[in-house]
Structure formats: C-alpha cells, structure tokens
Amino acid sequence: MDAPREAPLNHRRLIPDRDQTPEMAGVVDRNIVALLERRREDERRKSAQDRIADRVTRFTGSMLFVYLHLAIFGSWIIVNLGWTPLPRFDPSFVVLAMMASVEAIFLSTFVLISQNRMQAQADTRADLDLQVSLLAEHEITQLITLVTEIARRLDVDAAKHPELRELAQDVAPERVLDHMERHERQLNGVDGRR
C-alpha cells in the first residue's frame, strides 16, 4: 500500500509537489525556495547605483559589446587610414586612444563595484556556511555522546573505537584556526628555507 501523498508545499509561489520532483526531499525544496526568495529580496533591495553597475557590467561582458567595439573601432581605423572616400578626422588615432582609455577607466570602475558587492555576498554566504557547519558539528558531537552513553548502558565495548572519545569533544573553532595558522607558518618557514 502506498504511503499517503504530502500536499504540495506552498510558499508565496507554486512549488512542485513530490510527484514532479521525486528525487528531492521536502526539506531540499524548502531550502531552494528560501534561497530563491532571499535572492529576490536582495535584488529588490539593491540601490539604483548597484542596478546600473550590474547592467553595465553585464552588458560589457557580452559578445554584443565586443561586436559593437569591433564595428566602431574597425570603422574608425579604416576611415582614418584613408581607405575610404570619407575624410580622415583622427589620422594619428589620439582621439581613439583617449576615448578607449576613458572607457576603460569607467568600465573597470563598474566591474569593481559589482565585484565588491559580490564579494560581500560571498562573505555573507561563507559566514552562513560556517555557522551551519559549526551547528552540525555540535549536533554530531551531542549524538556521539548520546550513542556512547547508550553503548555503555548496553554493555557494548566502545574501546574498539578510541577516536569516539575525541569526536565526543566539542570543537572550538578559534583553536582550530590557531592550529591551522601555526601549521601554515611552519610550512612557510620550511618553504622559506629552501
């Protein structure tokens, strides 16, 4: 007999039910929807300046931008080399070089604005990942402690697994970071002597 079907999840928008995505657990669907909603909310909160920077960056990273520049710069060069009946207006290409330089300054600034915001988002996600990992580590530590206690009460020999005692201890992230930095300094010291 089949298990009763769950009702489709509803979270402001229609979410496929399990029949449409049988390989996904309900919690995965919930997490996907939460992440997408968060992205939409972040997009809505963007300032006008950030939206402009994103649009400019998106456009300058497209092939249309490349094709436009090929057409404009190519025409400019062809005309100013005297290969057409049109009059030469920049025979030394100084104006072209100046325009390209100014454009490069502005475009690099737009790219940096977008990258700074993306880096801030990446930092936030990394902080979230760290918090979730620390929570998961703490929960696993508590589960190991509980299972060890159950094994002791059932007279199961846990001595066969000496690493359980280490795993049952909470990890202090600041100590782990100190340990990593100490090892890195030692490795750099060894590399520096070579």
Which of the 8 DSSP states describes residue 133?
Answer: H
Which of the 8 DSSP states describes residue 12?
Answer: S
Q: Are residues 61 and 154 in the same domain?
A: yes
pLDDT in tens, 59-93: 999 999 999 999 999 999 999 999 999 999 999 99
Residue type, 29: D
Residue 153 has pLDDT above 70, yes or no: yes
Q: Which residues contact 152 (CB under 8 A, 6 or more apart)?
A: 158
User: Who has greater pLDDT, 11 or 54?
Assistant: 54
Q: Are residues 103 and 134 in the same domain?
A: yes
Q: Are residues 124 and 61 in the same domain?
A: yes
| Residue 22 near residue 3 (C-beta atoms within 8 A) | no
Q: Is residue 1 part of a domain?
A: no
> In sequence order, what are the beta bridge partners of 14?
10
CA angle (99, 102, 107) in 5-degree steps: 120
Q: Are residues 21 and 75 in the same domain?
A: no
Q: Are residues 109 and 182 in the same domain?
A: yes
Q: Are residues 29 and 54 in the same domain?
A: no
CA angle (142, 158, 155) in 5-degree steps: 100
Report pTM: 0.60
| Residue 77 near residue 93 (C-beta atoms within 8 A) | yes
User: Who has greater pLDDT, 180 or 81?
Assistant: 81
Q: Are residues 160 and 126 in the same domain?
A: yes
Q: Are residues 40 and 120 in the same domain?
A: no
Q: Which residues contact 6 (CB under 8 A, 6 or more apart)?
A: 17, 18, 26
pLDDT in tens, 42-62: 889 988 988 898 899 999 999
Q: How many domains does the chain have?
A: 2
d(CA 166, CA 179): 16
User: Who has greater pLDDT, 154 or 167?
Assistant: 154
**Which tokens go with 25?**
């657990």
Integer-rounded Cα Rg, in Å, for the chain is 30
Q: Are residues 19 and 104 in the same domain?
A: no
Q: Is residue 137 part of a domain?
A: yes
Parent domain of 27: 7-45
SS3 of the chain: helix, strand, coil, percent, to 5? 70, 0, 25
Q: Is residue 67 part of a domain?
A: yes
**Of the segments 15-29, 95-109, 128-142, which one has the largest average pLDDT value?**
95-109
